[in-house]
Amino acid sequence: MSSPSPRAVGWWLFLVAAAVLVQVGLGGITRLTDSGLSITEWKPLLGVIPPLDDAGWAEAFARYQQIPQYIQLKSHLSLEEFRFIYFWEWFHRLWGRLLGVFFGVPFLVFWLRGQVRGLGKQLLALFVLGGLQGVLGWFMVASGLVELVYVSHLRLAAHLMLALFLLCALVWTALTVLRPVPVAQTPRLRQLTWLLVALLSLQLTWGAFMAGLKAVLMAPSWPTINGQWLPAAVWTELPWQHPLSVHFIHRTLGYALLLAFAAWWWSSRSTLKLERHLVVGLGLVQVVLGVLTILYATRAGALLWFGLSHQLVGSALLVALVAAAHALRAPPATSPGVPGSSRDL
C-alpha cells in the first residue's frame, strides 16, 4: 500500500505558523497598549473565561490597582479603560490556548492516519515548546507585578525569541515536507545565510530590549540619537541595560544588516530565486519602518501601528531568511513523510 500523501501535513504546519505570527502580532499590541499586566493571575484553564458581571470586573480591577504599574503610572485609569487593556491581554492568552488546539488536534489525526512518518518526535517537541512558551509568558508577566512598572525587558526578549524560534521551526518542518530536495548545494552561501540568521536574531533580541525599555521614546530622533551620533551611555553602561546604548546598537546592527543583505542578494543571484528577493525587500522595508517608528513615536496612536508593523516585518524577514537556509541545506539521508522513512511515535 502506498503511503498517505504528506502534503496536507505541510500545509497544516504553514497554517499553524501563520497562527503563531498572529500571536506575535497580538503580543505586540498587548505590549504597545500597556495591556500585559492587566491580568495579575495565571489560570491555564479557568483563565479562558473573562469577568462576566460588574462584580467580576470590579474584582479584576482591584487586583490590578495593587501592582506598581497602576500605583505609579496608571492611577488615572477608569474601569472602561481597564476593560480595554484587559481585553488585549485576555485575547493574547486565549489565542495562545487556541494554538494548542490548532496544533494538537490535527497532529493526533495525522498521526493516527500514518501521515507524520519521520516527523513525530519533532512535532511533539514543538508542541511541548509551545506549552513552555505559555509558562515563559507568565514568568515574564510576574516580573512586573512586584517591583517593576513594566515587565523585565530581558524576559520580554526571551518570550519573543522563543516565539520566533517556534515560528521558524514550523516553517522549516513544513518546507521539509513539501520540498524534500534542496534547491542547490553551495556550502559557502549556506554558511553565510546561517550567519545572517544569527545576526538578525541578535538584532531582533535588541529590538525586544528597545520595546521593553521604551527606548524609542527616549530618543525619537533620526539619524542622530538626541543630537549625538555616539551616546555616552555606550561607553558607560551595559549594552543591554541602558535605553540609549540599546538604541545605538539596534540602529547600528540594522544598517549593517541591510548592507549584508544586499551583498548576500548579489552572491545568491545564480542560486536562489524568490527567497533572495524576499530577504532584501523585507530588509529594506524593515529599516524604513524602524526609522518611521522612531520619528513618529511621540504622536498619538502612531507608535502602535508603526511599532506593530516593524515587529511583524522583522518576524517575516527572519522566516524568509530561514526559508533561504532551508533551500540551501545539505541533503538529508531520508525524507520525512515519504515511503521508506523511519516511522516514530
Q: Does residue 318 share a domain with residue 292?
A: yes
Residue 62 placed within a domain: yes
Report the pLDDT value the prediction gives residue 335, as an integer from 0 to 100. 47
Mean predicted lDDT score pLDDT of the chain: 91
> What was the pLDDT predicted at 332?
66
Domain assignment present for 277: yes
**Does residue 309 contact residue 167 with C-beta atoms inside 8 Å?**
no
**Per the domain annotation, does 337 fall within a domain?**
no
Return the sign of the alpha-carbon dihedral for residues 335, 340, 342, 345: positive
Burial of 144 (0-12, 13-18, 19+ CB in 10 A): buried
Domain count along the chain = 2
pLDDT beyond 70 at 338: no
Q: Are residues 206 and 307 in the same domain?
A: yes
Bridge partners for 228 per DSSP: 225
Among residues 180, 197, 232, which one ends one of the domains? 180
Q: Is residue 108 part of a domain?
A: yes
Mean pLDDT of 287-303: 93
Give buried/exposed letters for 18-46 (b at 16+ CB in 10 A, else e). Answer: ebbbebbbbbbbbbbebbbbbbbeeeeee
* Domain with 223 in it: 182-331
Residues 200, 327 share a domain: yes
Instruction: Determine the average pLDDT of the residues in 127-146.
Output: 94
In a domain, 343, yes or no: no
Q: Residue 331: what pLDDT?
A: 74
Whether 128 and 83 map to the same domain: the answer is yes
Domain identity same for 46 and 73:
yes
Q: Are 166 and 235 in the same domain?
A: no
Domain end among 180, 207, 228: 180
- What's the rounded Cα separation, in Å, for the pair 12 and 10? 5
Say yes or no: 202 and 109 in one domain. no
Please tell me whether residues 174 and 199 are part of one structural domain: no
Going by pLDDT thresholds of 50, 70 and 90, the confidence category of residue 86 is very high
Cα pseudo-dihedral 116, 120, 126, 130, rounded to 10: 90
pLDDT band at 65; cut points 50, 70, 90: very high
Answer yes or no: do 291 and 169 share one domain.
no
The residue among 119, 146, 180 that closes a domain is 180
Kindly state the DSSP code that residue 48 receives in the 8-state scheme.
G
Are 247 and 233 in the same domain?
A: yes
The verdict on residue 313 lying in a domain is: yes
Per the domain annotation, does 336 fall within a domain?
no
In a domain? residue 251: yes
DSSP 332: P
Residue 176 shares a structural domain with residue 209: no
In a shared domain, residues 188 and 175: no
